[in-house]
Amino acid sequence: MKSRRRKFLQFAVAAAALALSRSAIAQVYPTRPITMIVPAAAGGPLDVVGRVLSVPMRGSLGQPVIIENLSGADGSIGTGRAARAKPDGYTIDLGFMGGNVLNGAFYSLPYDALNDLVPISPLATTPLVLFSRRLMPAKDLNELVIWLKANPRKASAGIASVERRLVAALFQRETGTQFTLIPYRGTAPAMQDLVAGQIDLLIDTPVQLPLVRTGSIKAYAVTSDARMSLAPDIPSFTEMGLPTLAYSQWFGLFAPKGTPREVIAKLNLAIVEALADVAVRSRFVELGLETFPRDQQTPGMLGAMMEADAKRWWPIIKEFGIKPE
């Protein structure tokens, strides 16, 4: 009996010490630079979002937020690195729907996509846009579908993430077209090849719209339910009779599972303040990004989004047999 009581007391003391230790760490956090892992190549939309946010976050946290680009395997290399990091708040993950949800259906991962990273806050959401090279003969989406059907498998599409692969697969299925998917480690090199005419199509975020305005590339449709205010002349897939292609990509911030709640709260506050910054909001509008309302900038909201997207998209990925390569 005494032995059991002694073990219980030892456990209670250890637990109290651990709680005090975690609380003390949270009170002084952060005391050194924070690494934000961006699981994509430099220059792409995800990288731009990270660099835009890192400036005001430094002001809120009092420490630099250093961007570390780790691309490859549709974001799973960088995301996996973040999931395995020490849960002390000094390594965070700039996540996105593909890397933090869809990869769980595409890959056999060495980590749990839905549970090994804990949400800090959703950041922004954006539709995707179907772009083409400048000299593509089709003037609109209907003509593009006709051209693709007349030239099966002769066209090529750059794919820089599983989200783009999913939308490309849905597009081919819904329109009865076939084209070759060419994987890229990031959006920036894929867009370079599109501008150069080395590939025919590219699915990407509205960040590339300035190239449409200069005539360097074309745009056919957006995956939002309605037209974007940023590009009112580009129709949505829904209005063109393809509602299955209604799709929104989101970005969010995560930390390794086990990160103290007090640290998560401090990081969440830094993000909330960053998203309220006028310069950040202005830059996000330029990128075609829509920030979430203040009351939705919570860990719980991001967790609910992940659960809903997994429930919606995982069965479709498996039903269609969509593969990462």
| pLDDT at residue 23, as a whole number | 53
Same domain, 167 and 151: yes
How sure is the predictor about 20, in pLDDT bands with cuts at 50, 70 and 90? Answer: very low
Q: What is the CATH number of the domain that holds 176?
A: 3.40.190.10
| pLDDT at residue 280, as a whole number | 97
Same domain, 176 and 309: no
In this predicted model, which residue has the larger pLDDT, 286 or 63?
A: 63
Q: Mean pLDDT over residues 156-160, rounded?
A: 93
Same domain, 133 and 122: no
- Confirm whether 7 is domain-assigned: no
Report d(CA 172, CA 175) in Å as an integer: 5
Q: Which residue has the tokens 């997994």?
A: 310
Question: What would the two tokens of residue 294 be?
Answer: 């203040």
Domains identified in the chain, total number:
2
Which of 200, 229, 245 is at the close of a domain?
245
Same domain, 110 and 158: no
Report d(CA 279, CA 286) in Å as an integer: 11
Q: What does the pLDDT look like over 192-234, one tens digit per residue?
A: 999 999 999 999 999 899 999 999 999 999 999 899 988 999 9
- Confirm whether 133 is domain-assigned: yes
Same domain, 82 and 134: no
Q: What is the CATH number of the domain that holds 48?
A: 3.40.190.150
Mean of all residue pLDDT scores within the chain: 91
Report d(CA 201, CA 219) in Å as an integer: 10
Q: What's the predicted TM-score (pTM) here?
A: 0.84
Same domain, 88 and 134: no
Same domain, 72 and 156: no
Same domain, 140 and 240: yes
The total of other beta-carbon atoms located within 10 Å of residue 154's CB is 12
- Confirm whether 307 is domain-assigned: yes
- Confirm whether 18 is domain-assigned: no
Same domain, 140 and 221: yes
Which of 245, 274, 307 is at the close of a domain?
245
- Confirm whether 4 is domain-assigned: no
How sure is the predictor about 306, in pLDDT bands with cuts at 50, 70 and 90? Answer: very high
Same domain, 146 and 230: yes
Q: What does the pLDDT look like over 259-273, one tens digit per residue?
A: 999 999 999 999 999
CA distances from 133 to 178, 219, 297, 313 (A): 17, 9, 37, 29
In this predicted model, which residue has the larger pLDDT, 125 or 17?
A: 125
How sure is the predictor about 309, in pLDDT bands with cuts at 50, 70 and 90? Answer: very high
How sure is the predictor about 37, in pLDDT bands with cuts at 50, 70 and 90? Answer: very high
Nearest to 223 by CA among 212, 234, 208, 237: 237
- Confirm whether 284 is domain-assigned: yes
How sure is the predictor about 26, in pLDDT bands with cuts at 50, 70 and 90? Answer: low
How sure is the predictor about 24, in pLDDT bands with cuts at 50, 70 and 90? Answer: low
- Confirm whether 136 is domain-assigned: yes
Which of 245, 265, 289 is at the close of a domain?
245
| pLDDT at residue 255, as a whole number | 98
Same domain, 168 and 235: yes
Q: Mean pLDDT over residues 167-179, rounded?
A: 95
**Spatial contact of 271 and 53, defined as CB atoms under 8 Å apart:** yes
Same domain, 224 and 155: yes
Q: What does the pLDDT look like over 225-279, one tens digit per residue?
A: 899 988 999 999 999 999 999 999 999 999 999 999 999 999 999 999 999 999 9
| pLDDT at residue 204, as a whole number | 92
Would the pLDDT of 325 be above 80?
no
Calculate the CA 162 to chain-centre distance: 10
- Confirm whether 41 is domain-assigned: yes
Query: Which residue range forms the structural domain that includes residue 147?
Result: 129-245
